[in-house]
């Protein structure tokens, strides 16, 4: 298999972690989606990462779709429950984590614009999205919907989202009053799959 993406994308990291957790051998092809010559477009017409090319040459894109495809290979460990409603809940929590990633990416792109062209209102809107999302995840950990020692699609996505906040210095105070999230990510960051996919330091 070939995974096409950027070393710094949290969405790509999510798929890399899943592949490593399942012990699936893959080749990583580093393609930056924002380059003028976008090599990603040959795999995904939208020019977005990640994209996965199977050994048969079939191409899958969008990280939730790729995660679903990998789960359908029936390779242990299972990262999505078999029971349909439980699976749907995990996918919704994945979507919440992905939404935090999206908001962080928008914030990063906004802050790369010249200061005079940046929108404080847009940056505030994205910060509020991130804060509400993190509050919701903390609540799911408090009520037992998620557990700090679970390794599944949702917790992998959450850890990737939070480490991206750390990496890009978005929402630097995210850990305040969210002790369960801190425990979750500290637990997952000790796993080899996370150590091997840590984004390069700037």
Q: What is the pLDDT of residues 62-109, one digit of tens each?
A: 999 999 999 999 999 999 999 999 999 999 999 999 999 999 999 999
Residue 179 sits in a domain of what CATH number?
Answer: 1.20.1050.10
Is the pTM value of this prediction over 0.85?
yes
Task: Walk across the sheet containing 27-30 and list its strands.
Answer: 27-30, 2-5, 51-53, 59-61
Percent of the chain as helix, strand, coil, to the nearest 5: 55, 5, 40
In a domain, 128, yes or no: yes
Percent of the chain with pLDDT over 70: 97
Residue 143 inside a domain? The answer is yes
The helix/strand/coil state of 52 is strand
- Which range among 21-25, 176-180, 188-192, 197-201 shows the weakest confidence by mean pLDDT? 197-201
Q: Does residue 201 form part of some domain?
A: no
Q: Is 176 left (phi over 0), alpha (psi -120 to 50) or beta?
A: beta
Q: Are residues 54 and 6 in the same domain?
A: yes
Q: What's the domain count of the chain?
A: 2
With H, G, I as helix, E, B as strand and everything else as coil, classify residue 37. coil
Its domain, for residue 65, covers 2-72
> For residue 156, what pLDDT band results from cuts at 50, 70 and 90?
very high
Domain finish residue from 34, 50, 72: 72
Long-range contact set of residues 74-82: C-beta below 8 Å, sequence gap at least 24: 75/22, 75/23, 75/24, 76/22, 77/21, 77/22, 77/151, 79/18, 79/21, 79/22, 79/151, 79/152, 79/153, 79/156, 80/152, 80/153, 81/152
Task: Write the CATH number for 24.
Answer: 3.40.30.10
Query: What are the phi and psi torsion angles at 61 (to 5°)?
Result: -140, 160
pLDDT at residue number 32 = 78
């Amino acid at each position: 298999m070939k995974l096409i993406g950027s070393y710094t994308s949290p969405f790509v990291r999510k798929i890399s972690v899943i592949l490593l957790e399942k012990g699936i051998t893959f080749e990583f092809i580093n393609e930056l989606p924002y380059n003028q010559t976008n090599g990603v477009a040959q795999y995904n017409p939208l020019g977005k990462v990640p994209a996965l090319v199977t050994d048969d040459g079939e191409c899958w894109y969008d990280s939730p779709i790729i995660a679903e495809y990998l789960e359908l290979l029936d390779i242990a460990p299972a990262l999505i429950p078999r029971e349909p409603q439980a699976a749907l809940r995990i996918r919704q929590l994945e979507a919440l984590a992905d939404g935090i990633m999206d908001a962080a990416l928008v914030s990063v792109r906004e802050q790369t614009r010249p200061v005079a062209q940046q929108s404080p209102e847009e940056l505030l809107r994205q910060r509020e999205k991130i804060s509400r999302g993190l509050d919701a995840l903390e609540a799911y950990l408090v009520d037992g919907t998620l557990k700090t020692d679970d390794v599944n699609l949702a917790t992998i996505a959450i850890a990737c989202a939070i480490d991206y906040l750390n990496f890009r210095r978005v929402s630097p105070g995210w850990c305040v009053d969210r002790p369960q999230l801190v425990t979750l990510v500290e637990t997952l960051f000790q796993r080899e799959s996370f150590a091997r996919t840590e984004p390069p330091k700037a």
